[in-house]
């Protein structure tokens, strides 16, 4: 059976994953440049949040670029429904959704052992990073209403092919970031007495590394599918 190869989709996937890995590389380079990692928990003294935010916005712009030919394929009703998700009211709901997700992540961090009566800023930075890696990209792409549907495992009926591709790729950042942040907690209780064991450094680094590993896995899947399609085409 010959597998149909979608060149545009593959390019979109590879560029998307390249941006994700590039963002992680920039973050790691920045951390190496600063050397003192204690600033990672500071909202005002760290560039990790702005770097990740910029990367997620670039991925949304990339999706819009590859989806510029998809919008004409939508019906008038789908276009109207899509436009309704980007009204001022819906944009406000998108901000509210991200705020609530940040609070939820903060609550989970506290439940899992983060200090309750101190390190508020550090918990906020970690929660905001997890929100940027999981919920924010979908809000930026689909608006508050569309993101809410996705959060409840509902597929908006106005999605274009490029948006479906982007949503699938967003999962790598989300799953990898959350699992990585959780895995980073393993080193905190160890009595190594290292500076980088201070909360939330292991969790922030874990979230970034988890995201990187997940995106590397996604990239390998895309390259494998590309190679398989190429070999099938060559044989036929």
pLDDT in tens, 58-95: 999 999 898 877 766 666 766 776 676 677 888 888 99
* Helical segments of the chain, H only: 7-34, 48-66, 76-84, 88-111, 120-134, 136-151, 161-184, 201-235
37 vs 2, residue with greater confidence: 37
Q: Is it the case that residue 120 has pLDDT exceeding 50?
A: yes
Identify which of 4-8, 116-120, 132-136, 160-164 has the greatest average pLDDT.
132-136
Neighbours of 192 (CB within 10 A): 8
pLDDT in tens, 166-193: 999 999 999 999 999 999 888 877 666 6
Mean pLDDT of 109-138: 90
The mean pLDDT of the chain is 87
Cis previous bond, 200, omega within 30: yes
Q: What is the DSSP letter of 36?
A: -
The answer to whether the CB of 67 falls within 8 A of the CB of 163 is: yes
- pLDDT value at position 2? 46
């Amino acid at each position: 059976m010959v597998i149909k190869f979608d060149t545009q989709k593959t390019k979109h996937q590879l560029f998307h994953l390249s941006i994700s890995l590039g963002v992680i590389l920039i973050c790691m380079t920045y951390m190496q440049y600063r050397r003192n990692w204690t600033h990672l928990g500071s909202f005002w003294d760290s560039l990790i949040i702005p770097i990740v935010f910029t990367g997620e916005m670039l991925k949304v712009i990339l999706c819009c670029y590859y989806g510029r030919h998809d919008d004409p394929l939508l019906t008038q009703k789908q276009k109207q429904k899509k436009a309704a998700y980007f009204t001022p009211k819906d944009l406000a709901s998108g901000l509210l959704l991200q705020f609530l997700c940040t609070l939820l992540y903060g609550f989970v961090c506290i439940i899992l052992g983060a200090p309750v009566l101190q390190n508020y800023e550090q918990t906020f930075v970690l929660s905001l990073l997890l929100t940027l890696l999981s919920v924010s990209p979908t809000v930026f792409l689909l608006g508050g209403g569309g993101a809410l549907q996705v959060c409840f495992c509902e597929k908006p009926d106005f999605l274009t092919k490029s948006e479906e591709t982007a949503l699938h790729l967003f999962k790598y950042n989300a799953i990898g970031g959350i699992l990585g942040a959780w895995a980073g907690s393993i080193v905190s209780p160890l009595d190594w007495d290292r500076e980088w064991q201070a909360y939330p450094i292991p969790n922030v680094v874990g979230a970034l590394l988890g995201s990187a590993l997940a995106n590397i896995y996604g990239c390998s899947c895309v390259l494998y599918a590309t190679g398989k399609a190429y070999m099938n085409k060559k044989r036929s």
